[in-house]
Structure 1
Amino acid sequence: MAFMLQTAPSLLNVRQPLLITAIAAALLAGCATRSEPPTAAVPEPAQPAKAEQGTDEAAMESPIQASNFAHWKQEFAPRARAAGISERTLRSALAGARLQPSIVRLDRSQPEFTRTPWQYLDSAVSAQRIRTGKLKMQEYAASLQAASQRYGVPAPVIAAIWGMESNYGSNFGSFSAVDALATLAFDGRRAEWAQKELIAALRIIDNGDIDAAHMISSWAGAMGNTQFLPSVFLQYAVDADGDGRRDIWGSMADVAASTANYLASSGWNPGEPWGVEVRLPANFDYARTELSTRQNSSAWAAEGVQSMNAQALPAMAGASIIAPAGARGPAFMVGSNFRAILRYNNSTNYALAVSLLASQLAGNGGVSAEWPRDLGALTREQTRALQTALSQRGFATGAADGVMGPATRAGLRQYQQSEGLVADGYPTLELLQRLQAGNPSQKQ
């Protein structure tokens, strides 16, 4: 192995309450001794029991919920068996899964306070993360270069994903993936998704890639150095060191190859950069700063878009301009490789953080333009108020969910255009206050 396997105390070896043990025994009583799935058709299993919606963490720790969880495992077993999961894995992993009330709390909580793009990037692309990343790239140069040559993804990009996902292997969670996904499936808020991921996790165990005790994940079931969900692991994880196991927990060769394979399969183009910071012309229409607006970099150059160093823009097909902080902040031209990173995590801030971290790991500089640090981020409640105010004035934003998605940005841009403002779609407290007051906004 390229580095020490990170382990946590097994969450599956703790003595279970007698009630769970008794019901688990009933679950296993009918298990056959052979590991192959039955050849006869399996009837459609009954719908598994679910946790009561809205229950708090204390209620999830009650003996009643423990009993319900044990019953849920008993009813879920036929579905796993029908999917081809062996009786051995049902006995070793599913029957021993423990209800984790803290996971329910984490899944239901939404932080009220959000961060601005520059606050996010200050943390994600910190000086410490850059220094550590450069050291890790030296330490694991052979694995990173092998993955880069095999899949066409630059080593700094692979390392940047690793740094973002698990801080270079120092933090990839403290939960059993089986515990986490079984708890989420039982809770019911995302039951169908969690059940599918749980079956995928059991299949990984069945395949011999790792055992349940060492299948460490985040509370949401994202596993190992790469933070792959089990379904993603089954599709993209790679056994690069040839030991017969796809080990994203303890083999750097497997970690690097699996990450590169995911990006390559997501459309990474070895002939293009992720993007470049740009300077926009004075008359630029900021309503076009969306990933859905695409044209060749030569067309952007013809409109007056320039690189920050006055050199020619890199050749990129289907390039977009983004301005994460609106008209007062930096702008970037991004292409297909930026979108490949978005496939890993569908957040513009995340993809930009990976891209900027990779650039600095490769020895390049950071962002040149200044961020508008005098502006604060709207809270979720303020964003909901903004969405409501826009809708009341006839600018569609979709549901008032407190999230600044494409529909809300489009509605805000329409409002800004109606007021003669720069239509950058960036939410500010001033815009919210003027909307709520019903007063026309002053031009920016």
Structure 2
Amino acid sequence: MAATLAAPSAGAASFEACVKRLRGDVIKAGVKADIADAAFRDIKFDEKVVRFSRNQPEYRLAIWDYMAFLVDPARIADGKQMMEVEEKTLRAIEKAYGVDRFVLAALWGVESDYGKIEGDFFLPQAFASLACAGRRPGMFKGELIHALKIVGAGDVKLQDLHGSWAGAFGHTQFMPSTYRRLAVDFDRDGRRDTINSVPDALASSANFLKKAGWRSGLPWGFEVRVPSSYKGPTGRSRKASIAAWAKRGITRADGRALPRSGSYGLLRPAGKSGPAFLVSRNFDALYSYNAAESYALAISHLSDRLSGKGALKTAWPTNDPGLSRAERKRLQELLIAQGLYKGEADGRMGPLTAAAIKEAEKKAGLKPTGRPGARILKVLAGS
């Protein structure tokens, strides 16, 4: 594949030529011609997926914004309810793989809001767009081949193959290559189906975490207090014994005793003035799911909240806290009422919402940032 191909500047003809080459490549890789033909029939270049590939929230947002909408009251309440619905399944998976059921439920909640938002991008179209105009054409061509081989194996129907812009799909958002390597048939119906089977999806994620080094019975970590004079090592990879951390003055934020043993790294996602955590190899396993510490922390903290533990003891170092999904939706409603936003009040923050927030901030005499925070919400609400 030529990495130089771009759209829309390359035009429809260039994309069609690219898709034609892709068809040849996937058939050479072992995909049946009828599956390839059905996958590529009527697909069009999707500029949105290419744009989204350059704008990932795990790396763009402040940690307090990211945590505010991923670990919000609704996700906690919904998670507790879904854990009751799927209690038998979660306990069976926990027993089979040794992965904490609260962590599995939290991962499910973060990845797809417990199956409510699995993504609506048709994967062959998304992969073709990224293979033809994205930054990593080879990788996405490979994922396209894996996706069509999943269809060929009879695990998932082609018409059900919808997911995120990047190609992750199902309740726990596996990429096709990961699916083919680690997905399991936990409900024993003869198919590995992470789209329509909650047991298959959750067990597949448990299998992923186990293969990534998850250790049964070990906590992901816990919030700690760090002495103001601390100048020692930080970072999840710079692990040390509990005894070493105790000697450095580290204590648990909830006042409980430190574990008697274990190897942990000190994570300070917002710097010296924000919450701090000692994290174990199980946190690293969660990190490997999406390669972002903020992502792993969101799952870890949500798992604590689902198990009945409280909010973080240390506040994030900001005077303009992040918003929950309900608050983001309310912000959009207020922007619509002011005539500043013409989109839908769905709680999703895109460029149109950011532009509207900037206008609202200008009108209020605030620095225009476009960020959905508590300050501009309070201004617009008139409180």
Q: Distance in 1 between matches of 2:254 and 2:116?
A: 36
1:248-282 deviation line (CA, Å, top 9, x unaligned)? 11111111101111111111111310001111234
Q: TM-score, normalised by structure 1?
A: 0.68
Deviating more after overlay: 183-192 vs 145-154: 183-192
Work out which of the two has the higher radius of gyration on C-alpha atoms and give 1 or 2.
1
Matching residue of 1:176? 122
Matching residue of 2:346? none
How do 1:177-326 and structure 2 match up within 5 A?
A: 177-285=123-231, 288-326=233-271
Residue from 36, 52, 61 that aligns with 1:106: 52
Question: Would you say 1:364 and 2:337 are equivalent positions?
Answer: no
Structure 1 unmatched ranges of 5 or more: 1-47, 378-444
Aligned 8 A contact 1:359 1:365 in 2: yes
1:294-349 deviation line (CA, Å, top 9, x unaligned)? 11112211222111233321245331011111111111100100000000111111
The amino acid across from 1:260 in the alignment is: A
The amino acid across from 2:279 in the alignment is: V
Question: Would you say 1:155 and 2:101 are equivalent positions?
Answer: yes
Identity %: 37
Matching residue of 1:134? 80
Change (3 A) 1:205 1:110: closer
Q: Distance in 1 between matches of 2:64 and 2:191?
A: 40
Residue from 340, 348, 361 that aligns with 2:285: 340
Deviating more after overlay: 90-99 vs 185-194: 90-99
Aligned 8 A contact 2:3 2:135 in 1: no
Question: Would you say 1:330 and 2:275 are equivalent positions?
Answer: yes
Q: Distance in 2 between matches of 1:357 and 1:186?
A: 37
Matching residue of 1:383? none
Question: Would you say 1:84 and 2:30 are equivalent positions?
Answer: yes
Pairwise CA RMSD: 2.2
The amino acid across from 2:35 in the alignment is: T
The amino acid across from 1:297 in the alignment is: I
Q: Distance in 2 between matches of 1:147 and 1:96?
A: 40
Deviating more after overlay: 276-285 vs 349-358: 276-285
Aligned 8 A contact 1:239 1:254 in 2: yes
Offset, 1:49: 5.7
Change (3 A) 1:357 1:96: same
Report how many residues are paired.
321
Q: Distance in 2 between matches of 1:284 and 1:375?
A: 27
Q: Distance in 2 between matches of 1:329 and 1:108?
A: 28
1:59-114 deviation line (CA, Å, top 9, x unaligned)? 57xxxx33322222222233222222122322322445433232233334578x94
SS at match of 2:258: coil
Matching residue of 2:359? none
SS at match of 1:353: helix
Q: Distance in 1 between matches of 2:225 and 2:18?
A: 57
The amino acid across from 1:208 in the alignment is: G
Q: Distance in 1 between matches of 2:100 and 2:79?
A: 14
The amino acid across from 1:84 in the alignment is: G
